[in-house]
Structure 1
Amino acid sequence: MIPFRAISMFHAVARAGSIVGAAQEQGVTPSAISQQIHSLEAYLGTALVIKDGRTIKLTEAGERYFELIVGSVERIVEATHALRGFRVVAALTVRAAPSLAAKWLMPRLAGFIEAHPQFEVRIDGTNEPTNFDREGVDIEIRHGEGQWPGLYVEPLVEEHFLPVCAPAYATAGSLAPQDLPDRRLIHSVKSQIQWKHWFARAGVATDRRWSRVLFDRSHMVIDGAVAGFGIALESELLAWEELRDGRLVCPVAAPPDITAVTQWIVCPHERLRLGKVRAFIDWVRLERDAWARNAAALRSSYGLIV
């Protein structure tokens, strides 16, 4: 008899990336999960998983077996729910830094929800890196430098960083780089690109202390700039809507072209096999590419980057 329960438990372990995570999901003890895995390995005559510290890794045979069964198991779950009269809903939990979630992800999310009504979407807005072994997060858009060994890491997009302010504070192109130290500067204290970097690239010596306002979230920096607090140094990715709508402008006539990748699509490699994760990544890529084209056109039309 085919050990369907053991197959289901293996599927849960491979998807979660840990026995503890699978046990929590299935509502059983980790030892029960281990027993089912051992019985399946005995039935198949090959090892499927190996321990790697507190996590597990699939063997080559385990990788191949999971690829063969994952689609079928998900269809069985969907068919079972459908026959019982339930609407088939898969929970998709996405973690993203608060500023990216508020300024870039949320304005676009309705498109994903409308295209994928089978997913119950949860957005978890935090800067804390996900512990995928212990947290119920499927995929993350993580702020940082992209160095996270053992995880799938894909750059979201190359961002341009430029001075921005409300047009009432300074009109577009009305200032030279050397004028900025005399203005109030808004600082995003956690940003990877700081004012000292921008001044160095612009060739401006800044030995004295500036008049400044500091925030620890980019979305507050952007809102403060719109409110006329001063001039912020921000990514056009996060300030996109405000730049597009004219609520923010670049006050510098010829700003230096400073770019960086600060946002990354991150998840365990095995999650890439899940339909909900693939669907979200595919959607993010389409949105990213559309945004990049529009941003390039805006950049060119307003001469923001020379």
Structure 2
Amino acid sequence: MQLPIRAIFVFHTAARLGSISKAAEELSVTPSAVSQQIQTLETQLGLTLMSKVGRRVMLTEAGERYFATITDEVERIAEATNLIRGYRSVTTLTVRATPTLSNKWLLPRLGAFLDRNPDLDIRIDGTNEPTTFRREVVDIEIRHGDGRWPGMFVEGLAEEDFFPACSPDYAPAGSLTAAELPRFRLIHSVKSQAQWPRWFALAGVEPGERWARVSFDRSHMAIDAAAGGMGIALESTLMMERELESGRLICPVAAPPPIRLVTQWIVCPHEHLRQRKVRLFLDWLRAERAGWEMRRRNARAALSAPEPPPAALSAAPRRRSVPAPG
């Protein structure tokens, strides 16, 4: 049987873009021509590869498997063809990650990844919704959760340390005991796996029935609020990395009880690991993790350092408590 090369490339383009019209625009043909090529391929394979959902197309389970299987080969053919023509091919890597991880950890590092891989374009889909890989064109995901997703490739991104953090203008570093924290406004990340009641229990503190608080449904909002002097947040070193390194956030508690969790996980179907672009991204993530963990060990050492003498504390900004709720 003669291979329907044209139809295969058209299907790959539509699957990658998730749209018949976008595929037609990229290929400089009409949408009906794209649909016809896909129908031709489906007829030859005896399988339904795509179904329409509104204005978009979704891959069927067979379509998802076929797309994952042919992607590396299609990209190699496209790269070889463009090299012969004297052009450099560009491949798109689609990554889904939570908004906070995308904003606070991934975005500052992406430039280095792209500089190292000039043949790759990257698309970041910042959402908390887990990927349904059978129906969505996502190559790899960094997912918030407990790591229990049977049948998937799952690898923890990093172990995070959670501790109280605030602006040094709100309370100086190491100037408070755990028992004093309920006098201050406490910032809550409602979706975080580390919550204030657990931290107080570890610290052996009964915070009382009511305390001044403000809640956010995104950790990056809680971090920005704490850095802006709104109160004290309970957040992780992974998400607060830039603010901690710049001094915009400090830990106001001397010797805080540790909470260490893996909350972010690298997730994808096992077959996606065959794709060169996914392997490159995964190797880069592991290298970035190694560098981050080295800096984290240094930060732990700093947190456990002896408290500064009283004279040094007296020159620090005055801490601001808030009235206890009535």
Q: Same fold (TM over 0.5)?
A: yes
Gaps of 5+ in 1: 40-53
Any idea what the Cα deviations from partners look like across 1:184-205, whole Å, max 9, x if unmatched?
1011111111101111111111
Partner residue in 1 for 2:246: 245
The amino acid across from 2:5 in the alignment is R
Distance 1:73 1:88, change over 3 A: same
How far residue 57 of structure 1 moved from its aligned partner, in angstroms, is 9.8
Asked whether the equivalents of residues 104 and 237 of structure 1 are also in contact (C-alpha less than 8 Å), the reply is yes
2:66 is the counterpart of 1:55: no
Asked whether the equivalents of residues 100 and 218 of structure 2 are also in contact (C-alpha less than 8 Å), the reply is yes
The amino acid across from 2:163 in the alignment is L
Asked whether the equivalents of residues 75 and 91 of structure 2 are also in contact (C-alpha less than 8 Å), the reply is no
Partner residue in 2 for 1:146: 147
2:44 is the counterpart of 1:36: yes
> Structure 2: how far apart are the matches of 1:301 and 1:157?
20
> Structure 1: how far apart are the matches of 2:155 and 2:235?
22
After TM superposition, the score normalised by the length of structure 1 is 0.81
> Structure 2: how far apart are the matches of 1:135 and 1:87?
27
Gaps of 5+ in 2: 25-33, 48-59, 306-326
> Structure 2: how far apart are the matches of 1:175 and 1:36?
71
> Structure 2: how far apart are the matches of 1:77 and 1:107?
30
> Structure 2: how far apart are the matches of 1:72 and 1:216?
42
Secondary structure of the corresponding residue to residue 100 of structure 1: helix
> Structure 2: how far apart are the matches of 1:71 and 1:218?
36
How far residue 73 of structure 1 moved from its aligned partner, in angstroms, is 4.5
Asked whether the equivalents of residues 156 and 266 of structure 2 are also in contact (C-alpha less than 8 Å), the reply is yes
> Structure 1: how far apart are the matches of 2:130 and 2:179?
38
2:157 is the counterpart of 1:156: yes
Any idea what the Cα deviations from partners look like across 1:239-258, whole Å, max 9, x if unmatched?
01111121111111111111
Partner residue in 2 for 1:286: 287
Describe how 1:1-306 pairs up with structure 2 within 5 A: 3=3, 5=5, 8=8, 27-28=34-35, 32-38=40-46, 55-56=61-62, 73-303=74-304
Asked whether the equivalents of residues 95 and 140 of structure 2 are also in contact (C-alpha less than 8 Å), the reply is yes
How far residue 276 of structure 1 moved from its aligned partner, in angstroms, is 0.6
Secondary structure of the corresponding residue to residue 225 of structure 1: helix
Distance 1:120 1:58, change over 3 A: closer
> Structure 1: how far apart are the matches of 2:116 and 2:242?
23
Any idea what the Cα deviations from partners look like across 1:138-164, whole Å, max 9, x if unmatched?
111111122222321111001110000
The amino acid across from 1:156 in the alignment is L
Asked whether the equivalents of residues 4 and 41 of structure 2 are also in contact (C-alpha less than 8 Å), the reply is no
Partner residue in 2 for 1:43: none
How far residue 75 of structure 1 moved from its aligned partner, in angstroms, is 2.3
Distance 1:148 1:120, change over 3 A: same
How many matched pairs?
Answer: 283
> Structure 2: how far apart are the matches of 1:190 and 1:70?
35
> What's the RMSD between the two structures over aligned residues?
3.3
Any idea what the Cα deviations from partners look like across 1:55-107, whole Å, max 9, x if unmatched?
24999xx9xxx5xx875543222112333454300011111111111100011
Give the % identical residues: 53
Secondary structure of the corresponding residue to residue 223 of structure 1: helix
Asked whether the equivalents of residues 113 and 119 of structure 1 are also in contact (C-alpha less than 8 Å), the reply is yes
Any idea what the Cα deviations from partners look like across 1:171-218, whole Å, max 9, x if unmatched?
111111111111110111111111011111111112321101111111
Distance 1:114 1:173, change over 3 A: same
> Structure 1: how far apart are the matches of 2:203 and 2:193?
17
Asked whether the equivalents of residues 190 and 217 of structure 2 are also in contact (C-alpha less than 8 Å), the reply is yes
The amino acid across from 1:220 in the alignment is M
Secondary structure of the corresponding residue to residue 104 of structure 2: helix
